[in-house]
Structure 1
């Protein structure tokens, strides 16, 4: 791209690398979030075709309209994706304003679309049992341990992959999630149900730096996805599931067992209670479905 940023002649690629470093090291964004934001920004700049200092609100609105129609990505996008693009652009122009490259922020009055809350997909208790038993403990101890940690601790896949040996305590039994999403550390107690499994795993694999390692490196998210998908197939689960499904299931089962939603919020590491409240709707749905079974 040959665009220039501001009036100082800095090449856009150099600027974008600087901004990416800012997102990673100052804003402390996760690898996946930074990657998505930078992809959004590049698409926006290529579409607008002008330096950020000349971009107006009308340019942004035109881009968002084209995005919603599928003209940017080649297919229609959801409100969630549009909202992410807006967040990406807000971050960009806030940064440009911070460093003095623009006087007026074109994102100042741009609103996020109203998002419809979807009830997250989750597994039944029986499905969880089948999933956790999909791998033989002797032959696939690591796989079984990964699945158990995802469910019993409600970890995000990135948190599981970044988990260090020093962050897992057996006495007392807890996992320390360091700088999870939202830059918040949290403590998650380890269930007595999986303590023997974790102890056996540590004794056999003797992880050094990361709790889950592969050839001396932390396990890759794609590996975790494959482990979950394969376990679902072996367990005969036909639902489309992924690692985050186990986190949703962890939260849902807690709410269904009448755990205070504030406690669930802390265990999940949610900044806002409204994010956690979606699981209350899951419990409500179960109640409505139960009542519908009453027939006279």
Structure 2
């Protein structure tokens, strides 16, 4: 198992979260089967997936997306075993992913974003305001925000360099001129040394960012269930609604596949249909 974990980390260069998820999935698979990798057959995999779908593995019925992740974990694992000669026949061949229904992601209206960003005062809660602003105006993942280094933020020209984000692709995201003065003020006051948002020299923990977003939403009177990723969805949705080319949105988000970004086209379409429904004759 340790060699596979090293393979994920150093060869495939998977993110820390992906490695943890894959290792957890594989452990559950073998705990359930009680077999060695060489003994596993396709029927065993299908039996496990069926049990997983019914909630027999985790104690609750899981979403199709979770089932799909387990299949990806197992496929990657057995591909690795086949690569190094541990197994001759791959039990994951012809095992298909469930057909996933695309869900329109939750996002905030422009008015809600304005309310959210105006919750914290620049004098008393400058750091919180800067965190919320970067999440929305740059569409960062919470992990990317927490691991953002001082050297990765430029004000002249204004951009954020996201290093080794999901999919291991570095990308440059321009910073809106609307928040450059705010971020400059933040740097001048807090003087971060390594990480842009530090906690005693260490990067912020994602749970801290979750709490900041939740508290801001409550103060702003937003009743929707929101979290840091909601601001990323909102960033993308607002760009598409402003007729920004979806290919550009893909690059700004750091999506490997255009199909992942295309979900925001459905969001924009829904808004258009809702607008037309308001017409009265």
Task: Tell me the distance in 1 between the aligned counterparts of 2:141 and 2:86.
Answer: 37
How far 1:25 moved relative to its partner? 2.4
How far 1:123 moved relative to its partner? 0.1
How far 1:100 moved relative to its partner? 1.2
Q: Where does residue 111 of structure 2 map in the other structure?
A: 126
Specify the SS of the correspondent of 2:9: helix
Do structure 1's residue 250 and structure 2's residue 235 form an aligned pair?
A: yes
Do structure 1's residue 75 and structure 2's residue 60 form an aligned pair?
A: yes
User: What aligned pairs does 1:100-179 form with structure 2 within 5 A after superposition?
Assistant: 100-179=85-164
Query: What's the TM-score, normalizing by structure 2?
Result: 0.98
Do structure 1's residue 233 and structure 2's residue 233 form an aligned pair?
A: no
Task: Tell me the distance in 2 between the aligned counterparts of 1:222 and 1:38.
Answer: 22
How far 1:17 moved relative to its partner? 2.6
Q: Where does residue 292 of structure 1 map in the other structure?
A: 277
Q: Where does residue 199 of structure 2 map in the other structure?
A: 214
How far 1:18 moved relative to its partner? 2.7
Task: Tell me the distance in 2 between the aligned counterparts of 1:221 and 1:55.
Answer: 37
Task: Tell me the distance in 1 between the aligned counterparts of 2:216 and 2:116.
Answer: 6
Number of aligned residue pairs:
281
The answer (yes or no) to whether the contact 2:240–2:246 under 8 Å persists in 1 is: yes
Q: Where does residue 31 of structure 1 map in the other structure?
A: 16
How far 1:290 moved relative to its partner? 0.6
Q: Where does residue 76 of structure 2 map in the other structure?
A: 91
Query: What CA RMSD, in Å, does the superposition of the two structures yield over aligned residues?
Result: 0.9
Specify the SS of the correspondent of 1:188: strand
Task: Tell me the distance in 2 between the aligned counterparts of 1:219 and 1:213.
Answer: 6
Task: Tell me the distance in 1 between the aligned counterparts of 2:199 and 2:178.
Answer: 25
Task: Tell me the distance in 2 between the aligned counterparts of 1:227 and 1:78.
Answer: 28
Q: Deviations over 1:162-183 (max 9, x none)?
A: 1111111111110111111111
Task: Tell me the distance in 2 between the aligned counterparts of 1:202 and 1:18.
Answer: 42
Q: Where does residue 10 of structure 1 map in the other structure?
A: none
Query: What's the TM-score, normalizing by structure 1?
Result: 0.93
